[in-house]
């Protein structure tokens, strides 16, 4: 299943799923959703592309309603029923962290608690806001 951010509104969950699908479509990344999600996890949390995959916590859903919403968003994203709210972003992070890699990327959207990026130097004037 496509990753989505459980605590985010549906648009934020769709944005996280879109980044995964954008990576699948990009030749620099693996060719499947699972390979994209698992990429870098072999070396532990430090190289992990999606922190929830390498955080050591169980991935079994505990909240049936949240899981149902996530499945619905993931299916809509995978079937391309909804447009990509990130405009093609390949990277994202929560707004409460400051990863070094983000300084060399262009902020293209802020959705919920996440910032989304494409290749290019960051210029906050180009920040698109969607909530």
CB 116 within 8 A of CB 107: yes
Q: Which has the higher per-residue pLDDT, 127 or 51? A: 51
Which segment of 10-19, 73-82, 89-98 scores lowest on mean pLDDT?
73-82
Rounded to whole angstroms, the Cα distance separating 7 from 104 reads 27
Q: How confident is the model at residue 130 (pLDDT cuts 50, 70, 90)?
A: very low
- Contact criterion met (CB below 8 Å) for 56 and 124: no
E-only strand ranges, 4-98: 91-94
Residues 22, 86 contacting (CB under 8 angstroms): yes
For the chain, the C-alpha Rg in angstroms (whole number) is 14
At residue 4 the predicted structure's pLDDT band, cuts being 50, 70 and 90, is low
For position 129, what pLDDT does the model report? Answer: 42
Mean per-residue pLDDT for 93-111? 92
Residue 6 confidence class, pLDDT cut points 50, 70, 90? low
On whether the pTM is more than 0.85, the answer is no
DSSP string, 105-125: EEEEEEETTEEEEEES---GG
Contact 85, 130 (CB under 8 A): yes
The H-or-E segment that residue 68 falls in is helix 64-78
């Amino acid at each position: 299943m496509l990753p989505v951010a459980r605590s985010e509104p549906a648009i934020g969950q769709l944005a996280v799923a879109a980044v995964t699908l954008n990576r699948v479509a990009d030749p620099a990344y693996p060719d499947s959703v699972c390979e994209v999600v698992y990429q870098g996890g072999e070396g532990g949390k430090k190289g992990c592309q999606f922190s929830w995959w390498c955080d050591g916590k169980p991935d079994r859903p505990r909240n049936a309603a949240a899981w149902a919403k996530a499945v619905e968003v993931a299916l809509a994203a995978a079937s391309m029923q909804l447009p990509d709210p990130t405009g093609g972003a390949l990277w994202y992070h929560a707004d409460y962290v400051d990863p070094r890699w983000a300084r060399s990327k262009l902020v293209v959207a802020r959705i919920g608690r996440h910032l989304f990026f494409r290749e290019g130097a960051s210029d906050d004037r180009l920040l698109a806001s969607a909530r």
